[in-house]
Chain A
Amino acid sequence: MTVTEEPTVTAGAPAKEVGQPRKRKEDTRLITGRTTWTDNMVLPGMLHLAIVRSPVAHARITNVDVSAAQQSQGVVAVYTGRDFAEEQGSLPCAWPVTPDMVNPGHPSIAVDQVNHVGEAVAVIVARSKVAAQDAVELVDVDYDQLPPVLDMEEAIKDGAELVHSHLESNTSFHFVFDGGEAGAAGNTDQAFAEADVVVSRRFVQQRLIPSFMEPRSVVVQPQGDNYTLWSSTQIPHILRVMAAMVTGIPEHKLRVIAPDVGGGFGGKLNVIPEEILSLLVARRLRKPVKWTETRSESLMTAHHGRDQIQYIDIAADREGNVKGLRCRILADMGAYLRLVTPGVPILGAFMFVGIYKFPAYRFECDGVFTTKTPTDAYRGAGRPEATFAIERIMDELAVELDLDPLELRRKNWINAAEFPFTTAAGLAYDSGDYEAATQQALELIGYDELRAEQRRRRESNDPVQLGIGFSTFTEMCGLAPSRVLGSLAYGAGGWEQASIRMLPTGKVEVVTGSTPHGQGHETAWSQLVADELGVPFEDVEVLHGDTAISSRGMDTYGSRSLVVGGVAVVKAAEKVVAKARTIAAHLLEASEDDLDFTGGTFSVRGTPGTGVSIQEIALATFAAHDYPEGIEPSIDAEATYDPVNFSFPHGTHICAMDVDTETGMVKIRKYACVDDVGKIVNPLIVEGQIHGGVAQGIAQALYEEAVYDADGNLTTGSFVDYLVPTAADLPHFDTGNTVHEAPGNPIGAKGVGEAGCIASTPAVVNAALDAVRHLGVSDIRMPLTPERVWRAIQEGGDGGDRATAGTTAYGGAQTETTAGVSTDASSLGGDR
């Protein structure tokens, strides 16, 4: 074999890659779409699936007539829940948060009963997507309707209509964390009894829909007794294990591939009914099959996020020293438990104390079943909910005590000198400086000028009032230390795997178990490896997402990729260098101890001119003509990294908001944030994550809400009614960073994927309230629609419920199925 390409040996130490704002190497193919999105896959003989979905929220299925659909042109087969009842098992829930948590089981296709609008009731298999879609309308299902269960506060009452009639109640679990009982804090009851001031509020975390850009898609190819499953998923590794367990296909006979994936935000962190159904149909027919959802199917059936009612009590003395925090949460599970549905609010349990030194803390959470789409992870998963509650209640306490909201925060937050600090929730915060981030954010936004303008507008009774809102947040990132996950009864560990293959030409393949879905792993990992191995950035290729290539992994969520997966890459690189050192010593006829390794080259200390590059060693090892006795001829290496602690990025976000008191319209005037995400590997990616996260958090505050009508139909079934803002609707963001490296990992990174989304929402709501508090407004429910803001100003209260009819756009378009059934109750509070 002839190797024609000369390995590059760079003279002198090149500039460090880590810290460079490299443009993302994967973006050309991702942005142009010229790549392997799952729906781009075409296999010989491939059949297409379309799902017949329930148009009613809660009903017994009395009959399913598929005869007309079976006769439809191009249809190969039609299956109902009955056809798969014996083999479909239950979709997995990996997080039994309490020993007695009730899990009703989650069929991929309904057999006897449907429990939310959009639940699958039949599957059409046809030769073309068009033929499959045409036959959907021909399936005739008889439903014996049951009352829907929509309101959590009603659903937990005695005698409430049950979602699952075989269960005793609609409560899945009651989870308690008490800082006193855990030994992390004092007695909460006593703290409240002795406090000068107690402020209690009820906050509503509305239901959100993750709204990833690429709709979900699944392709299954059976070959012999092997199956390859392509899916637009965040979690190919977890999916492989789970799908094997659900379907009985042996794990080693199932290969899962997540090709390029167009976003997820947690919305693709699941095992979905359609993945299981595609496997079952492919197994039954021995043919490749594809399912790709429409956007309206996605909004209706992909899991939703948030949806909590939070009862928050805070205790303090008159001087503003906080004494205790008590949180009681109702968390809407939807109709079923999916992969981590119950775990989402429990992740939040440890973040309600925020950055503050509470002497006492108690958290209770009920998971509640309703006849709605199941909820599960959505960017931040539990932590945005917690951050919202604490940052909102701190403002309420400041009002109660007549203190400046920032002064109250300063009085209570952990000082820089106090790290590491163990909170009342038992977490050991690693590092940071809340004061420094806050100072920088105040300067960025021009705080003093804004306060002066606010005073002027208030004095002149300007119809447009100005408000300023803060969010001084932290979050737990880098999910997660496996032992901690074990202690929380999570069904898996939180380690991550990486391997590095040195190719004969000196090029480098990095295999990561942390599967990206748009984050830029290929670029960041290349930067890490370029520095560790001293090879050019361009010489590194990052492989991911295929269980046959990347055999072990825990995938991407919870701001874990760089903090856990990136560290695994660095550790693997360190092993490569160590193995190469042995061979370098042999080739240079020197002792390993006398070798320096800089800029990718081993050289003998004190002997200028001698040297061999790691890329040359890769070739020498490939030839294997001359290497030391007693070692293997390979410098490839792999590493598995299990973190010892979470990392705790923090930051200060400040929002300045104009509120038109005549119309209720709110408009963000300025937005500044300073985030401390530890060591920054690629500033461009960090900036992008902050921008996207802030946009998503603002979207929760101002725009997005999944609304169900009184019959349990999803009114916000298209992007006409589910408002996702674009760049045109968002302000310029003034961003900055402070850097306190995470002491817990070798890179020093803390995680940035969720920061903006977690931090921004309460800053925006606090800003709007600050603008109109003098008009008697103390709360406005999210999203802050102009109508809600106007009503809160006019009538007091939190702005109230919205009418539940959709807009007239597209002729009042709902979705294929939600438009199917409406009763008088559908139009309660609105016209259809």
Chain B
Amino acid sequence: MIPAAFAYARPTTVDEALQAVASGGEDVKIMAGGQSLIPVMRLRLAAPETVVDLTRVAELRGVREDDGAIVIGAMTTHSDVISDPLIARYAPLIAEATETVADRQVRHRGTFGGALAHADPAGDLPAVALALDAEFVVAGPGGRRTVPAAEFFVDYLTTALEEGEILVEIRVPKREGWGMHYEKFNRVAQAWSIVAVAAAVRREDGRIAEARIGLTNMGPTPLRATAVEEALAGVDATAEAVAAAAAHAAEGTDPSSDLNAQADYRRHLVTVLTRRAVSTAAGL
């Protein structure tokens, strides 16, 4: 439980951070809250040459409004996310899912951006970001670019972040008045999701006008349950209609088999959890 030796940089601005990453050598790891990186370093599964610690980069913290979106700084801690009024108003799904992450101690240090950039398929926040059509603002040596959530998660623990780049903020479209729910399935309180479903639903005149559904741990990346979304569009908001649509939840998924669940069971679970997530989000 002792990491291999590494160089350590603790910049205070994004520019300094980019500089530190650029000059950090072959294998640089960017540390946000350290709640995933430190354990793998202690197990010596990762032995980076340099760790760039973003803890003191103040400009990366906090949540603000920007026209039709709220903008969440990548270094905003989980506990700040949970208590943020803008998130509560425009994207309560994020707060609800974040409350299920690990335990209080981890949520105090862990960050929104760190959890997204880590891209653990069993992590809760990637599916939420995907469901809400978030955009990822990335800073690099050549300036800033924006990556849509659908393109950000590339593979198992792999994102669209290029070498030398840092995730700086996440833009989430405002969805005031939408019903949202995160349905998590895990065995003990501090465990990762076996499967989870993030649902956001807009109701109109007794119908489901629009639904957005993200799936956790149903493949190497978070997935959108597009077949369910299509099946829900415009249907009456009834338990039967939701159940019928949710039956499509496993379509296009590629879940793994591990101690917690074999793939066929995950494919079954996701239909039940999707039904429950959408029902709750739709107020049924």
Contact = CB atoms under 8 A, between A and B. Distances in A.
Interface of A: 129-130, 133-134, 137, 294-296, 662-663, 665, 703, 707, 715-716, 718, 720-721, 723-726, 728-729, 785-787, 790-791, 802-811, 813, 815-816, 819, 829-831
Interface stretch (B35-43, B74-82, B196-204): B35-43
5 contacts: A134-B4, A787-B261, A807-B260, A808-B156, A816-B43
Given A133-B2, A663-B269, A810-B43, A728 B189 contact: yes
Contacts of B46: 811
Interface string B174-206: 000000000001011111101000000000000
B257 A809 contact: no
Secondary structure class of chain A's binding surface, majority of residues: loop
A660 to B, nearest CB: 9
Interface in B120-166: 120-122, 156-157
Nearest to B4: A134
A805 B120 contact: no
Given A720-B192, A810-B39, 13 more contacts: A130-B2, A663-B185, A665-B185, A728-B188, A786-B194, A790-B265, A803-B258, A805-B259, A806-B259, A810-B36, A816-B43, A816-B44, A830-B262
A807 B192 CA distance: 9
A787 B265 contact: yes
Contacts of A295: 1
Contacts of B43: 296, 718, 810, 813, 815-816
A295 B191 CA distance: 17
B265 A791 contact: yes
A718 to B, nearest CB: 8
Contacts of A805: 256-259
B217 interface: yes
Nearest to B268: A790
Contact of A663 (B5, B156, B260, B272): B272
B188 A809 contact: no
| Ranked 7 nearest A-B pairs via Cβ | A728-B189, A803-B257, A294-B1, A831-B256, A830-B257, A805-B258, A133-B2
B8 to A, nearest CB: 15
Contacts of B257: 803, 805, 829-831
Contacts of A802: 259, 262
A813 B259 contact: no
A820 B193 CA distance: 26
B187 A785 contact: yes
B188 A725 contact: yes
A199 to B, nearest CB: 30
B272 A662 contact: yes
Contacts of A723: 187-188, 191
A808 B121 contact: yes
Which of B4, B258, B260 gathers most chain A CB within 10 Å?
Answer: B258
Contact of A819 (B45, B120, B157, B187): B45
Contacts of A715: 259
A470 B36 CA distance: 42
Contact of B188 (A137, A726, A815, A816): A726
A725 to B, nearest CB: 5
Nearest to B35: A810
B259 A807 contact: yes
Contacts of B192: 720, 807-809
A819 B257 CA distance: 18
A137 B45 contact: no
Which of B40, B122, B260, B269 gathers most chain A CB within 10 Å?
Answer: B260
Which of B122, B188, B269 gathers most chain A CB within 10 Å?
Answer: B188
Contact of B122 (A130, A725, A729, A809): A809
Contacts of B261: 786-787, 803
Contacts of B2: 129-130, 133
A137 B194 CA distance: 33
A323 B16 CA distance: 81
A808 B258 contact: yes
Contact of A813 (B39, B156, B190, B272): B39
A707 B185 CA distance: 21
Contacts of A726: 188-190
B282 to A, nearest CB: 19
A809 B123 CA distance: 8
B260 A787 contact: yes
Nearest to B269: A663
B259 A803 contact: yes
A130 B256 CA distance: 36
A830 to B, nearest CB: 4
Contacts of B120: 808-809, 811
A728 B187 CA distance: 11
A811 B157 contact: yes
Contacts of B36: 810-811
A807 B257 CA distance: 9
Interface in B209-229: 217
A816 B2 CA distance: 11
Contacts of A830: 256-259, 262
B3 to A, nearest CB: 9
Interface string B229-240: 000000000000
A657 to B, nearest CB: 15
A662 B272 CA distance: 7
A133 B44 CA distance: 10
B265 A729 contact: no
Contacts of B273: 663
A810 B46 CA distance: 10
A7 B66 CA distance: 76
Given A134-B4, A830-B262, A811 B256 contact: no
B44 to A, nearest CB: 6
B256 A721 contact: no
Nearest to A783: B187
A815 B45 CA distance: 8
A729 B4 contact: no
Interface in B8-53: 36, 39-40, 43-46
B125 to A, nearest CB: 14
B256 A808 contact: yes
A44 B40 CA distance: 33
Contact of B258 (A725, A728, A807): A807
Contact of A811 (B45, B265, B268, B272): B45
B259 A721 contact: yes
Contacts of A130: 2
A817 to B, nearest CB: 10
Contacts of A831: 256-258
B10 to A, nearest CB: 21
